[in-house]
């Protein structure tokens, strides 16, 4: 579709994975729809359509046909209501009452007392309960059948009809009651998985104090424009991304970076939306606002993490698709063998494929949302799953293992130019380069007060350096490959032996000077590497575009093998080399120069991505602050998450198998079966909720 466009559509009424499948199927059936992604946690669908054939009204109608709704206007995230604590107490009380009722019903059934009570209920009251209480369920079942989809509720509905047919009115009414309770439990379970995302959304301020024409105005975030001036007072959240023009404050950036210690910011510092200013006021020039801010992008990526599904989710989906036909066969065989209609009803009622569908996404949503609050932005379950089985770690050197802020230590001249002239030419050529070494060259020139020239025909040479026209001459600055070989000079040999990075400065094809730079390893790296090895990742390798001599000191200090003098395409080849041997490769880089290799790896991790759009987009996982201890923490979270997923799947499988066997042999009455089918959902909720409290 040449004119296809993408729209986000809020969806109300989804409370399980099965719901998202129904919504997706309904929208995909529309003519002109090219693609659909439905996000349970964000309660929305992303639809790619041809405006000439489909529009929002058509999508709204399709969603309604599936039993759900599209609100007329998407509501903005709001803070939790003041009665939230009270509502939680009510939920606890409801749970206690429900548990008591469940015990009474189950015990009464097994002691034979329940039937004596239910026989006294007039059939017309029971029928009214079935019709009124079951209508929302029966409606969704009917709409699903119209779409040629069979759901778990379809089997339970057949069970209710069967109970009514044989005159078990009270049994049918109790089954309907527990069907509705099961829906509530399922919705509550899903809502709990949304908690981390909802907490994130509630951290963002919805108002900003803007300075216009010398006056201050309180305005909604949606009305703030880039370039405007925002005033932040002590104790207020910063509403936008921007640059501090004047003022001074301590800023808590934990909402973006996960770092609990506030940082000192003043004029020229970058600040982020949803961070909290303490002990001072700031005047901030807006650079990004709303969804375009770093915090807005974090929320968007966490919302869309569902799209990158783990392979274990697909396995669970396939199992669910076979589970319902299997239950139907078991129910038919139960009736044919036992001629017991109550046992047949119990088989239909106890089956719960929803527990399989919930087992994986509930855990993944909880983990991804909780991790985002800790400064770990994971773009989907697929990457959590890959991290859990990672066995190769490739590490970029500059800006990743090191601080990424090298400084020029030595300047060597080979011609008539003075070292100041060489530095000025190099800094002029590097004027528009984003490489950390270019920044070091410019910083050295600024420290000496050198005047720079405006470069003409600036051209980056990936993996080699830069080239620009300065005062009519072609000036090249880069690594040894730029020159073709190290000059026969004792001083240069000494600098290389010290492990320093050498930058060759050339006029046309003549070497006129050389700059030596060095960087400092991050102090937490040795401890982090040790923890990574303890987690079972033994194959760790250092990759760098620098010379071998500059890599040796760092590699020796960490006990790592290394490959030096690499171009970007060489790093991609190394990733593919490991993958061809069936290894799961994780690569860590700065997210800018290493973007192709990060994309090729099974999991690409960018370090210190807060405020760096390229780093956030290029990687599969973004560490929002520059802290190597986040890497073993990330590996630990991934393994803990997949452990919880496996436990959830095992719980669902064992529980359903036991329930089906007990029901088929007549040991599980329909009433108890209906009550019991909600229990695995509660177990999955309890188990997955542990991931909301990552240690």
Name every residue whose Cβ is closer than 8 Å to that of residue 396 and which is 6 or more positions away in sequence: 543, 544, 571, 587, 588, 589, 590, 593, 594, 597
Measured from the Cβ of residue 432, the count of other Cβ atoms closer than 10 Å reads: 13
Q: In what order do the strands lie in the sheet with 270-271?
A: 215-220, 207-212, 229-232, 282-288, 241-247, 270-271
Number of helices (H), then strands (E), in the chain: 26, 25
Angle between helix 525-534 and helix 548-558 axes, rounded to 10 deg: 60
Cβ atoms of 430 and 476 closer than 8 Å: no
Cβ atoms of 543 and 593 closer than 8 Å: no
Annotated active-site residue 396? The verdict is: yes
Residue burial 646-676, b: 16+ Cβ < 10 Å; e: rest? ebbbebbbebbeebbebbbeeebbbbbbbbb
Strand locations in 29-80 (E): 33-39, 44-49
Token digits of residue 452: 């720079």
Alpha carbon distance 109, 470 (integer Å): 92
Which helix (H) or strand (E) segment holds residue 200: the answer is helix 195-203
Distance of alpha carbon 366 from its chain centroid, rounded? Answer: 10
- In degrees, rounded to 5, the angle at the alpha carbon of residue 619 between the alpha carbons of residues 614 and 624 is 75
Alpha carbon distance 491, 374 (integer Å): 47
333 φ, ψ (degrees, to nearest 5): -65, -40
Alpha carbon distance 139, 133 (integer Å): 11
Q: In what order do the strands lie in the sheet with 33-39?
A: 5-10, 44-49, 33-39
Cβ atoms of 588 and 573 closer than 8 Å: no
Using DSSP bridges, classify how beta strands 562-563 and 539-543 pair: parallel, antiparallel or unpaired.
parallel
Measured from the Cβ of residue 530, the count of other Cβ atoms closer than 10 Å reads: 12
Nearest to 641 by CA among 187, 196, 39, 184: 196
Q: Which of 241, 396, 519, 594 is catalytic?
A: 396
CA distances from 552 to 142, 183, 377, 399, 520 (A): 69, 61, 32, 17, 14
> What one-character DSSP code corresponds to residue 454?
P
First to last CA, the chain: 47
> Exposure of 307 by Cβ count < 10 A (0-12 exposed, 13-18 middle, 19+ buried)?
middle
231 φ, ψ (degrees, to nearest 5): -100, 130
Pick left, alpha or beta for residue 565 (phi over 0 → left; psi -120 to 50 → alpha; otherwise beta): left
Instruction: Cite the active site residues.
Output: 396
């Amino acid at each position: 579709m040449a004119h296809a466009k993408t729209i986000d559509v809020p969806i109300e009424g989804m409370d399980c994975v099965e719901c998202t499948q129904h919504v997706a199927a309904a929208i995909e059936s529309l003519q002109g729809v090219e693609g659909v992604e439905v996000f349970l946690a964000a309660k929305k669908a992303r639809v790619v359509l041809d405006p000439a054939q489909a529009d929002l009204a058509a999508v709204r109608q399709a969603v309604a046909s599936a039993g759900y709704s599209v609100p007329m206007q998407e509501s903005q995230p709001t803070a939790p209501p003041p009665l939230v604590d009270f509502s939680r107490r009510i939920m606890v009380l409801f749970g206690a009452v429900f548990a008591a009722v469940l015990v009474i019903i189950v015990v009464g059934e097994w002691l034979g007392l329940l039937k004596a009570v239910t026989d006294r209920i007039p059939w017309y009251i029971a029928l009214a309960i079935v019709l009124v209480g079951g209508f929302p369920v029966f409606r969704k079942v009917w709409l699903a059948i119209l779409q040629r989809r069979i759901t778990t509720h379809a089997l339970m509905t057949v069970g209710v009809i069967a109970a009514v047919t044989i005159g078990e009115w009270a049994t049918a009414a109790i089954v309907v009651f527990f069907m509705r309770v099961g829906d509530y439990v399922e919705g509550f379970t899903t809502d709990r998985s949304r908690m981390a995302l909802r907490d994130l959304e509630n951290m963002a301020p919805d108002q900003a104090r803007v300075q216009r024409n010398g006056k201050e105005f309180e305005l909604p975030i949606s009305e703030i424009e880039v370039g405007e001036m925002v005033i932040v007072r002590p104790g207020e959240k910063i509403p936008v991304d921007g640059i501090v023009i004047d003022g001074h404050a301590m800023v808590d950036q934990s909402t973006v970076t996960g770092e609990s210690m506030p940082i000192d910011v003043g004029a020229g510092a970058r600040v982020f939306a949803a961070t909290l200013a303490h002990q001072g006021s700031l005047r901030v020039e807006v650079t990004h606002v709303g969804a375009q801010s770093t915090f807005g992008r974090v929320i968007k990526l966490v919302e869309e993490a569902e799209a990158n599904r783990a392979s274990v989710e697909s396995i669970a989906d396939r199992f669910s698709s076979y589970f319902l036909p299997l239950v139907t066969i078991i129910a038919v065989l139960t009736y044919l063998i036992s001629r017991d209609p109550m046992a047949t009803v119990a088989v239909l009622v106890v089956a719960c494929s929803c527990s399989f569908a919930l087992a994986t996404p509930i855990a993944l949503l909880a983990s991804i949302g909780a991790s985002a609050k800790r400064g770990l932005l994971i773009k989907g379950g697929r990457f959590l799953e890959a991290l859990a089985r990672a066995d190769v770690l490739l590490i970029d050197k500059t800006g990743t293992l090191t601080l990424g802020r090298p400084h020029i230590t030595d300047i060597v001249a080979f011609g008539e130019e003075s070292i100041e002239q060489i530095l000025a030419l190099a800094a002029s050529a590097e004027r528009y380069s984003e490489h950390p070494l270019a920044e070091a060259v410019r910083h050295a020139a600024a420290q000496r007060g050198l005047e720079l020239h405006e470069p003409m025909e600036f051209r980056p040479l990936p993996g080699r350096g830069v080239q620009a026209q300065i005062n009519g001459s072609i000036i090249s600055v880069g690594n040894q490959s730029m020159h073709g070989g190290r000059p026969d000079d004792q001083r240069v040999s000494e600098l290389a032996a010290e492990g320093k990075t050498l930058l060759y400065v050339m006029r046309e094809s003549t070497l006129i000077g050389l700059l030596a730079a060095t960087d400092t390893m991050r102090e937490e790296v040795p401890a982090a590497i040790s923890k990574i090895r303890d987690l079972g990742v033994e194959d760790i390798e250092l990759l760098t575009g620098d010379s071998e001599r500059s890599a040796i000191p760092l590699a020796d200090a960490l006990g790592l093998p290394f490959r030096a003098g690499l171009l970007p395409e060489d790093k991609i080849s190394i990733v593919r080399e490991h993958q061809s041997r069936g290894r799961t490769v994780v690569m860590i880089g700065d997210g800018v120069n290493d973007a192709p290799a990060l994309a090729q790896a099974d999991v690409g991790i960018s370090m210190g991505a807060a405020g760096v759009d390229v780093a956030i987009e290029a990687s599969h996982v973004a560490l929002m602050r520059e802290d190597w201890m986040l890497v073993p923490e990330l590996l630990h979270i991934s393994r803990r998450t997949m452990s919880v997923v496996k436990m959830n799947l095992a719980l669902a499988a064992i529980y359903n198998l036991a329930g089906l066997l007990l029901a088929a042999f007549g040991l599980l009455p329909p009433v108890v079966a209906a009550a019991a089918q909600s229990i695995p959902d509660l177990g999955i909720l309890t188990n997955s909720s542990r991931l909301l409290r990552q240690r």
